Amino acid sequence: MMQISTFHTAKTMSSREVAELTGKEHKNVLRDVKNLIDQEAISQLNFELAEYTDAQGKPRPEYLLDFDATMTLVTGYNAVLRAKVIRRWRELEEGTAKPFALYQVPTQFYSQNRLLAEEFEGARKLAELCGLEGNQALLKADKVIRKQYNTSPLALLEIELKTPDNEALIIPSEMGRLLNPPISAKQLNKALAAMGLQEWREYKPKKFEWRLTDKGKNYGTYLDVGRKHSDGTPVLQIKWRESVAGLVEEHLNN
């Protein structure tokens, strides 16, 4: 799951941002930071070791550096690269630029899906103009793209986010494990159908899958899992609000 770090503010800079500004590979920036830490050139008070999820859904390390640690790091770089980093710090301090967005569209995704990435970024900015922030803006942008292109950028990147009210979205097998006693995904799907939240619907001749009912749309959403049916249509998976587990448990007990 992609994490939005609360430590990252306008007074810190991610090692990923340093790599972006200087054109270096992130693994090399990580190596440089580690060398400075080992040499005690950077104090433990000046950095934090964090983690982010890459485009393949794998956890990767990064450093969040304060001003002193960042300046110590770029001292070993050439004058042009130092100037870029210093200029960025000045913009952040003066408030003329936003902190580096840890949720920005990854370069790999952008190059392979340029139009989709531009549409997604435009929708995110529009959501921010309407007062939404962070995950709320991302989820709203993802919803816009799903409506227009029938695909989910967040699902393609295997990014898990929460709903606007900070509630996790989970698949039936995960929800089944939350219940006491746990039940299988098959049993859970039957319970959700009995509750009127989903139905086994024929969306094409002799082609069936679970679909949300009008009532169920208040509790779940569709995500494109990046696969296609034999007829070429995308495979959509229902993800449910985590709180639905309590409703299911109550239904089963009754």
In this prediction the pTM is 0.41
pLDDT of 249 > 80? The answer is yes
Instruction: Note whether 21 and 83 are same-domain residues.
Output: yes
Q: Which residue has the higher pLDDT, 127 or 173?
A: 173
Tell me the mean pLDDT in the region 142-153: 80
Instruction: Note whether 36 and 59 are same-domain residues.
Output: yes
What percentage of residues in the chain have a pLDDT greater than 70? 76
What is the 3-state secondary structure of the chain?
CCCCCCCCCCCCEEHHHHHHHHCCCHHHHHHHHHHHHHCCCCCHHHEEEEEEECCCCCEEEEEEECHHHHHHHHCCCCHHHHHHHHHHHHHHHHCCCCCCCCCCCCHHHHHHCHHHHHHHHHHHHHHHHCCCCHHHHHHHHHHHHHHHHCCCHHHHCCCCCECCCCCEEECHHHHHHHCCCCCCHHHHHHHHHHCCCEEEEEEECCEEEEEECCCHHHCEEEEEEEEECCCCCEEEEEEEECCHHHHHHHHHHC
Instruction: Note whether 148 and 184 are same-domain residues.
Output: no
Q: How many domains does the chain have?
A: 3
Structure confidence at residue 21 (pLDDT):
81
Structure confidence at residue 100 (pLDDT):
54
Structure confidence at residue 222 (pLDDT):
77
Instruction: Note whether 115 and 144 are same-domain residues.
Output: yes
Q: Which residue has the higher pLDDT, 224 or 244?
A: 244
Instruction: Note whether 173 and 248 are same-domain residues.
Output: yes
Structure confidence at residue 188 (pLDDT):
94
Instruction: Note whether 51 and 90 are same-domain residues.
Output: yes
Listed range (56-60, 197-201, 217-221) with the worst mean pLDDT: 56-60
Query: Domain limits at 216?
Result: 169-253
> Is residue 22 situated within a structural domain?
yes
Structure confidence at residue 248 (pLDDT):
93
Tell me the mean pLDDT in the region 146-156: 77
> Is residue 221 situated within a structural domain?
yes
> Is residue 2 situated within a structural domain?
no
> Is residue 161 situated within a structural domain?
no
Instruction: Note whether 65 and 27 are same-domain residues.
Output: yes
Instruction: Note whether 79 and 122 are same-domain residues.
Output: no
Give the integer Cα–Cα distance in Å for 39 and 240.
49
pLDDT of 191 > 90? The answer is yes
> Is residue 66 situated within a structural domain?
yes
Q: Which residue has the higher pLDDT, 223 or 24?
A: 24
